[in-house]
Chain A
Amino acid sequence: MEKTILIEIRDVSKAFKGTKVLQGINLDIHDKEFITLLGPSGCGKTTTLRIIGGFETPDEGTVMFEGEDMSNIPPYHRNVNTVFQKYALFPHLNVYDNIAFGLRIKKIPKDEIASRVEEMLQMTSLVGFEKRQISTLSGGQQQRVAIARALINKPKVLLLDEPLGALDLKLRKDMQNELKRIQHLTGITFIYVTHVQEEALSMSDTVVVMADGKIQQIGTPEDIYNEPTNAFVADFIGESNILDGTMVADFQARFAGKTFPCVDSGFEPGESVDIVIRPEDVDVVPANSSQLTGTVTSVTFKGDYYEIIVDVCGFKWMIETSDYVAPETCIGLKIDPDAIHVMKKSEYSGRFGDYSTFSEEAEELSDPNYGIEPEEDTPDDE
């Protein structure tokens, strides 16, 4: 693609009180791109955003904006605006004055301010709300004011820090569409921070998956979903069965005690690997017609499909199927070659992908030693 690079992040590291929150971040952000930094709480996504906004300075590395080093440029001289996590609207000003705030400092004539505020009100469907005080607005309305206030300065880049975190599910979906529409309309680069994978996949041109202060994978939503680079990404994006396996030869993967044909190649023969199989890619067949059999341990009705957990020699698989299967029955699992995704081993191997529990959190809940850590970014929980 002939897209121009707008922001270059090079070898950026950052620590708070000796705790490394970012380590060797390298990222190119292109003009007019909708890029999402996705990761769990504490992964460093918000810190990355704050470094781009100028609210934090990196300990190491550089941030270049259109080829210019931004290290010593304060936030108020950057051509970047932010939609803050809880909006940070000015409670002493009404909707109009909040939106006009960024123009007031720039010696712009009053009638131009009025026309630009009007333009923003129309774009965010807030016409008629000009005189309203912020405290009288709903979360969704405050959200729009925050977007209008940031966009009126016509920034090159809009930073959005979990902007939908405080909204309920349906409204969040509407706002996703709305943000997408506004981004197309304005042609402004959006850098979006979220811990909700569904938001990242449905809105972004590019998704940057982060964990433990490092970038795990950069790619289109399809790439990230279909070709995760390691167990963390596979587990964080969608549901995955992640198994320990070996590459017997090219196009031959061995896991769960059996060898399966697959579409991956280029590994050393006998190399130990992680195997990812998405729940929707496994077909349920009679036990006698498959080389992989297991016992159904639980069945959950999900509306358009059943989510079943199958115990195959002690490893719990998650399978999504449209046909009901009774618990305690023995079934066969059919896996097509293109449903098998092979990944190199990583530090995350073995930590994810067994469905004895659904989340790390469930395990953390029963671990009294887990976690009182200084949180640098605190997204609202689901």
Chain B
Amino acid sequence: MTSNPVSPVKKSPIRHFRLANLRSLGILTPHIVWCVIFIVVPLLFVLYYTFTDRNGAFTTDNLQFLGTPEILRCFGLSIVYALVATAVCLLLAYPLALAISKLKSNHQSLATLLLMLPMWVSFIIRTYTLKNIFNDNGIINQIIAMLGGGEVKFLGQSWLIILGMVYDFLPYMVMPIVTVLTGIDPKLNEAAEDLGYSPFRAFLHVTLPLSRAGIISGITMVFVPCVSTFYISSTLSGGTVTLIGDKIESAFLSNSNFQQGSAMSFVLMILILISILVMNKFGDKESEELLA
């Protein structure tokens, strides 16, 4: 038996393709309208405000405002907090996802349900609850007082903000990893062990690389909301830590400075876009290899 390593390329049936396209256009119309009204138009507003002053004249002042040390510090702090929170999420989520993926399917659904249950409550309420727990007169301080200790100042500590982000966004990291891990044939690990790999090495060389797509989408899904969050940091720091999301919020809501708010949003969006592209680059390499 000989086979040709070069597989023949099939011609795409153009006529059918066009017909299908036309049909799907009809089905997609409501979505397209929705996207235009609620995504494209607002983005154009952001773009407009970014490059105009209060009188509507073109200016780059708003972008120059971003160069001030205070705003740069907020951007930097946001990125650092988001990176740390994402890393903590990954470290917590992976073993959890691994454990869930090894459960029988009915237990797996239960575990997934338990994991998703907190998501039924708005993250604002969850963050507020967290604040109450760690407040100066919150439950933890009450317990400490009962044990005879003095009041501990939790609010404002960096780790509490990280905790808030991890608490709010952990399921977004766990779920894609569970999905990917569940899809990995357990026989592959057996095959690796059969070929001389200890279970740990089999994990490193088979399970881990095969779950890369899940890790990447988990990182993206946690990093993006973390870097732009505005409520967690201000609530859990008692107002002492200001991230870029908080700045944007106050620019719009407190100062009615749509121009500076838009400029910060615009740059943040570009930063997020770049980080997603970078992440997808990792993912793409894999899928390209698979398709090659």
Contact = CB atoms under 8 A, between A and B. Distances in A.
A365 interface: no
Given A75-B190, A75-B193, A88 B185 contact: yes
Given A92-B210, A133-B290, 14 more contacts: A74-B198, A75-B190, A76-B196, A84-B187, A88-B188, A91-B290, A92-B289, A105-B201, A125-B1, A129-B5, A132-B5, A136-B7, A141-B3, A149-B191
A13 to B, nearest CB: 22
Contacts of A153: 195-196
Contacts of B7: 136
Interface in A80-99: 80-82, 84-86, 88-92, 94
Contacts of A128: 5
B209 interface: yes
A153 B197 CA distance: 12
A149 B195 contact: yes
A40 B7 CA distance: 38
Contacts of A105: 195-197, 201
B286 interface: yes
A55 B196 contact: no
B114 interface: no
A88 B253 CA distance: 57
B80 to A, nearest CB: 32
A128 B6 CA distance: 10
A186 interface: no
Contacts of A84: 187, 190-191
A256 to B, nearest CB: 48
A140 B2 CA distance: 11
Contacts of B290: 91-92, 133, 135
A86 B187 contact: yes
A101 B3 contact: no
Contacts of A92: 206, 209-210, 286, 289-290
B210 A91 contact: yes
B192 interface: yes
B121 interface: no
9 contacts: A55-B193, A76-B193, A80-B194, A84-B187, A84-B190, A89-B191, A92-B286, A101-B192, A135-B290
Given A105-B201, A125-B2, A76 B194 contact: yes
B249 to A, nearest CB: 43
A76 B187 CA distance: 14
Contacts of A82: 190-191, 194
A125 B192 CA distance: 23
A174 interface: yes
A149 B192 CA distance: 10
Interface string B1-17: 11101010000000000
B125 interface: no
Nearest to B1: A174
Contacts of B44: none
Report the interface size class on chain A. 35 or more
Contacts of A15: none
A53 B190 CA distance: 10
A261 interface: no
Given A136-B7, A140-B1, A101 B286 contact: no
A55 B190 contact: yes
Contacts of A140: 1, 3
B146 interface: no
A102 B3 contact: no
Interface string A31-53: 00000000000000000000001
A81 to B, nearest CB: 6
Contacts of B57: none
A138 interface: yes
B147 interface: no
B210 A88 contact: no
Given A133-B292, A149-B195, A90 B187 contact: no
B292 A102 contact: no
Contacts of B188: 88, 90
A169 interface: no
Nearest to B210: A92
Nearest to A93: B209
Contacts of A171: 1
Nearest to A134: B290
Given A90-B188, A92-B286, A76 B197 contact: yes
Given A88-B188, A92-B210, A76 B198 contact: yes
A106 interface: yes
A-B CB proximity, top 9 nearest? A102-B195, A88-B187, A88-B191, A75-B193, A82-B194, A76-B193, A92-B209, A76-B196, A105-B196
Residue of A86, A101, A129 ringed by the most chain B CB atoms within 10 A: A101
A101 B195 contact: yes
B21 to A, nearest CB: 27
Contact of B195 (A81, A91, A138): A81
Interface string A92-122: 1010000001100110000000000000000
Contacts of A80: 194
B185 to A, nearest CB: 6
Nearest to B209: A92
A349 B159 CA distance: 75
Contacts of B198: 74, 76
A94 B290 CA distance: 9
Contacts of A149: 191, 195
Contacts of A88: 185, 187-188, 190-191
Nearest to B206: A90
A131 B197 CA distance: 23
